[in-house]
Amino acid sequence: MQKPVMKAAPALSAADFFARVRERLTLETPTGLNDPNIVPKRGDHDVDPIMEKIALVRPIRPAAVLIPVVEHAEPTVLLTQRAQHLPDHPGQVSFPGGKIDKSDKDPMHSALREAEEEIGLDRAHIEPLGYLDVYMTTLGYRIVPVIARVKPGFELTLNTGEVDNVFEVPLTYVMDMANMQRHAREWQGMTRHYYAITFGERYIWGVTAGILRNLYDRVYRE
């Protein structure tokens, strides 16, 4: 199924986008990250309600990702392509990020650490602005997305053990709901539904597309 799910997002300049993020979001750790009694509102179950029941019987796995929005005249989102040799989700498009370590002060520090380890994005170029809602995956991960303003001019060094490539996609493109579709595929004997965005040769789907949809809902919707 390939139907657009909502109307196009309003055009926002970089300044307007960052101002709206600061207005609507905070860096107070969202509830539901570690509490089994709280079911995150957002997650794979957004488009596939049965996935909530599957996720709730899995161990909770706290994680954080960075949503790096690069402050060009036309802002872009920096995304990674996972290494093909990885056992989990090889070759998939994702945000820099990973599990929250006990030594991490908070999800923001986890996301910054992972971005530096995976792609060499220096923290001096990054200004964290706010958390989106916790996103729960079918495998039990509870992910805190951190929206950040990234100054242009950075240099990256990829950890090829984790990342094959990085690329930027215009923020207006991924926030245009005409590009956000609902797809389906077989997974462990059942049909799974999920969000997906096609950008040239790139296929952005699953958790990454779901988090982008949450970004639209929290920052762009009036």
Does 89 fall in a domain? yes
Q: 162: domain CATH number?
A: 3.90.79.10
d(CA 83, CA 42): 27
pLDDT at 201 over 80: yes
pLDDT at 10 over 90: no
Does 101 fall in a domain? yes
Does 193 fall in a domain? yes
Q: What is the pLDDT at residue 187?
A: 66
Q: What is the pLDDT at residue 89?
A: 67
**Mean pLDDT for the stretch of residues 41-59:** 87
Q: What is the pLDDT at residue 4?
A: 43
The tens digit of pLDDT for each residue in 177-199 reads: 999 999 987 766 777 789 999 99
Q: What is the pLDDT at residue 3?
A: 44
Q: What is the pTM of this model?
A: 0.92
Does 3 fall in a domain? no
Cα Rg, the chain, nearest whole Å: 16
Does 202 fall in a domain? yes
Residue 200, domain extent = 14-220
Does 105 fall in a domain? yes
**Mean pLDDT for the stretch of residues 158-166:** 94
Does 2 fall in a domain? no
Number of folded domains in the chain? 1
